[in-house]
Structure 1
Amino acid sequence: MNELARRIAITIGALLLFRLGSHIPMTGISPRVQADLLSAIGAARISIFALSVIPYLSAAILLQLVAVVWGRLSALERSGEIGRRRIARYTLVLTLLIASFQAFGVASGLQGISGVVSEPGAWFLVSATATMVGGVFCLVWLSEQITRHGIGNGLALILVVGIIVSLPGDIANTFELLRQGALPGGLGPLLAVISVALVAVVVFFEGARRSVPVQYAARQVGQSVIEPQSSVLSIKINSAGFLIPSTVTPWVFYLPLALATFVFGQTSWLARAYGHLKFGQPVHMVLGSIVIFVLAFIYTAYVLDPEQAAETLQKQGGTIQGVAPGEATVEHLDRVASLTTVVGAVYLVAIVLIPELLVAWGELPFLFGGGSVLIVVCTILDLKKQVCDLSLTTRGGERK
């Protein structure tokens, strides 16, 4: 078995374990609970993997946000293997706290629904919480095995599988609504066209780069002389990705409201605020667009450092045509990165707004949000790249 086949087998095996665990109910759930009651509790099954990898992603994103504003953590993140291991430990500790809090909330909610739990009480709360927290860490371990020994990013693949397995049911429900006449007859083709167009836009922008021409002067390395070379400094249109803008935006909305509810109680003005911030409401769309746009700039400024790029170019003997080394190069790169980020931020806002506008326009159903499209497409593109690279490596090894 060659390397590519081995990695594919490991990836498929890990994902099958994930799907198997998604059908194992957590401890204490009544066996007499009907399927329709379970579906009323939440979109996902009440399984040992009920929390998926969301607590781990939330912890990782929180630490990245802290690194943006706290230089010490940022320096630790860039200090090499030891620093990355410490960051990984911090992430796991924060994951434990977030997962425990979320799992206890889910267990408490289940216990409050008549007939779902066999024997409500403290033991169910403890056992169900421990089961769900263990499920999160099991998925984190599986994702690491995929990333290290399989193909693609393990966390992204687990998210993608969760999105894809729910898609057939969503499509079936939409066709059922069309058959019953609850939706206009021409809505199905319209949604199909919009979905295909959305995927095409994501594929285009995720592959788009802004190229800055760089000229390297002739230099001597040891006994050999390297001739002058031309190259490009490639800047990704969407350097901010999607997880941080889309994940942090709801926190900006709902954490202040949750704090206000804790302090003032459930008041009429808080109820109105929650109503205005529902998905599809104009206030939610406007504020969400602004927050995503700003977060895209903040995170891009963190991952793209013009000063560091200019310093690296100068050390390697590289110059940008028509731009002097030093401060002039920094200013030029900062201007190029800023203009590129504007395009990327507008693209992210559009990806988020398209499904929400469809919902606001006559409460139309949409099979998946812009974030889901972006995660699926980017994961597939990454898989394609890794498979091609491994295929070339395997062929090269066979020829030798």
Structure 2
Amino acid sequence: MIQTIRKAWGIPELRKKIIFTALILLIFRIGNAIPVPYVDTTLLNDYINQLSTTVLGLYNVMSGGAFAEATVFALGVQPYINSSIIIQLLTIAIPALERLARDGGEEGKKKIQSITRYATVAIAILQGWGYYMLMKNYGILTNTGVWAALVIIASFIAGSSFVMWMGEQITEFGIGNGISIILFAGILSRVPAMVSSMISGLQTGSLQWWAAVLVVIGILALIVLITWVNGAERRIPVQYAKRQVGRKMYGGQASTLPMKVNMSGVLPIIFAQSIAMIPSTIAAFCKQPEKGTFWYSFLNAIDTKSVLYMIFYFVMIIGFSYFYSTIQFNPIEISNNLKKNGGFIPGFRPGKPTADFIKKVLNKVTLFGAIYLGIVAILPLIIGKAVNNAALSIGGTSVIIVVGVALETVQALESQMLMRQYKGFLE
């Protein structure tokens, strides 16, 4: 990875893209340090830290700690991610959007991107208003007037829209996917605080040395597993029949149809975690029941450290993995495209038999990828229960995002270097 960055730095055009990406990330980090007015950040930070195992804690991690500080970029990329997922699901449910995405070409992609931007602003308005009401109800604001409300909500909306714009600029003029890199930078910015917290815990005796070693070994194991599975794929052999066009003969070559083991990325974990955390989030806003009552036992049973929560979480990850694989990979459409181009899978007739075989392979690959995602998500929970640290419950999501984005960025650099070093046939 370091060698790839060093080689890319030697190419002037790529050096400009790397510098541009670094400058955008610097602006993002500066915005994460600018709090909005009329907010007592000390009270807010203490309050969010108490809710580290809820949806608010997940938002705080995804924003790089900006959510607990009520900064200008507190909402981060969450509105854009939510709007992208919603538009992607609506593209399947609404025939007009499906035709626009499938047959609209470049113009259709631009229209869908424009719809996603408007949806991002709408979601940012809802989340900004909800965030303001949360702070108002718990006495975190220093001013509860109308002007203060307008300033706070408008700051959150403007910050989220600006983060979306910066992500698009990185995608167009920088290296890699801009939104992913901003999310990567936000999560990575929390690493120094986590390391210092671990060191202080060892010094004060609140954290045992074996627990720290267990956490480090678990993180390293996750990184190795994610790196190994990220590039894994199942390749189905495809043969193209020979055909004559005029006096020339085309086709006859062999190819492969690749299927990534983890084609849905981290989305199943994020969705499953958000839904699984809803009961604990609701319970955090309600009055705590007395010990020995039914509701006390119920809340303990669905707590993020309970075995029932881990089982429910694991099953939901598998379900969402299958859901996203069916969205992204359509065996019938792929079978029809192979048939149109004169391609076939050896041993299977074109049409329905080919589609059934592709679907069978897809189910097996998705099952392996879903189990992998479940292990990545559950392992931090198990380690957190062993060392009595519930904050590790969202560690698996952070690790898979950081490692995945780092690998994708290196691959983008390598592909761009390959394009510039390729001399072609004309020289």
Calculate the TM-score normalised by the size of structure 2: 0.83
Residue pair 1:27, 1:131 contacting (<8 A) in 2 also: no
Q: C-alpha offsets along residues 124-143 of structure 1, whole Å, 9 cap, x if unaligned?
A: 11110000100000000000
1:247 equivalenced with 2:257 (yes/no): no
Q: Single out whichever of 8-17 and 368-377 deviates more from structure 2.
A: 368-377
Distance 1:284 1:68 in 2: 31
What amino acid maps onto 1:377 in structure 2? V
Contact 1:7 1:149 in 2 (8 A): yes
Equivalences for residues 121-200 of structure 1 within 5 A: 121-200=145-224
Give the letter aligned to residue 389 of structure 1: S
Contact 1:307 1:330 in 2 (8 A): yes
For the aligned residue pairs, the C-alpha RMSD in angstroms reads 3.0
Counterpart of 2:22 in structure 1 is 12
Query: Which secondary structure state, in structure 2, belongs to the residue aligned with residue 351 of structure 1?
Result: helix
Of residues 40, 45, 52, the one that matches 2:46 is: 40
Task: Tell me the distance in 2 between the aligned counterparts of 1:96 and 1:266.
Answer: 36
Equivalent residues of 1:59, 1:91 under 8 A apart: yes
1:195-253 Cα deviation digits (max 9, x unpaired): 1110010011110000111112222345432352111111111122212x123224544
Deviation at 1:273, TM superposition (A): 5.1
1:60 maps onto 2:84 in alignment? yes
Shift of 1:70: 4.1
Q: Which deviates the most, 389-398 or 154-163? A: 389-398
Which of 105, 113, 121 is matched with 1:88 structurally? 113
Are 1:205 and 2:211 counterparts? Answer: no
Q: 1:377 to 1:220 in 2, by over 3 A?
A: farther
- Partners of 1:247 and 1:68 in 2: CA distance: 20
Post-superposition offset of 1:67: 3.2
- Aligned partner of 1:389 in structure 2 is 415
Runs of at least 5 residues in structure 1 that lack an aligned partner in the other structure: none
- The residue number in structure 2 matching 1:217 is 241
Q: Given residue 272 of structure 2, which amino acid in structure 1 is its aligned partner?
A: T
Q: Contact 1:3 / 1:394 at 8 angstroms: preserved in 2? A: no
Q: 2:170–2:176: 8 Å Cα contact kept in structure 1?
A: yes
SS in 1 for 2:76: coil
Give the distance between the partners of 1:6 and 1:210, measured in 2 at CA.
36
Residue number in structure 1 paired with 2:37: 27
Aligned residues of 1:170 and 1:367 also touching (Cα < 8 A) = no
Identity %: 29
Amino acid at match of 2:16: R
Q: In structure 2, what is the Cα distance between the partners aligned to 1:47 and 1:107?
A: 12
Unaligned runs of 5+ in 2: 1-10, 49-64
* Aligned partners of 1:108 and 1:125 also within 8 Å: no
Residues in 1 aligned to 2:279 and 2:116: alpha-carbon distance in whole angstroms: 24
Alpha-carbon contact 2:304-2:393 (below 8 Å) kept? no
Please name the residue that 1:358 is paired with: 383
Taking the aligned partners of 2:216 and 2:346, their CA distance within structure 1 comes to: 46
- Cα distance in 1 for residues equivalent to 2:225 and 2:78: 26
* Structure 1 residues 271 and 146, CA gap change in structure 2 (3 angstroms): farther
- Residue 256 (structure 1) shift: 8.5
CA distance in 2, matches of 1:62, 1:275: 32
> What amino acid sits opposite 1:342 in the alignment?
L
In structure 2, relative to structure 1, the CA distance for the partners of 1:84 and 1:265 (3 Å cut) is: farther
- Among 327, 340, 353, which residue is 2:352 paired with? 327
* TM-superposition CA deviations, 1:132-173 (whole Å, max 9, x none): 100000000000000011001110111111111111111111
Alignment of 1:292-307 (within 5 A): 292-307=317-332
Q: Is the 8 A contact 2:270 2:397 kept in 1?
A: no
Answer yes or no: is the 8 Å Cα contact 2:269–2:373 preserved in 1: no
**Contact residue 175 and residue 413 of structure 2 kept, 8 A:** yes
Aligned 8 A contact 1:292 1:349 in 2: yes
Residue matched to 1:372 = 398
**Deviation (angstroms), 1:271:** 7.0
Give the Cα–Cα distance (whole angstroms) in 2 for the partners of residues 222 and 246 of structure 1.
53
1:308 aligns with 2:318: no
Letter matched to residue 201 of structure 1: L
Q: 1:25 to 1:397 in 2, by over 3 A?
A: farther
**In structure 1, which of residues 288, 295, 302 is the aligned counterpart of residue 313 of structure 2?**
288
Instruction: Give deviations 1:311-342, integer Å, cap 9, x for gaps.
Output: 11112221211112222111111111111111
Deviation at 1:186, TM superposition (A): 1.7
Change (3 A) 1:372 1:222: farther
Quick one: which of 342, 351, 375 aligns to 2:367? 342
SS in structure 1 of the partner of residue 38 of structure 2 = coil
Query: Are the structure 2 counterparts of residues 69 and 275 from structure 1 closer, same or farther at C-alpha, using a change threshold of 3 Å?
Result: farther
Is the 2:384–2:393 contact (alpha carbons within 8 Å) kept by the matching residues of 1? no
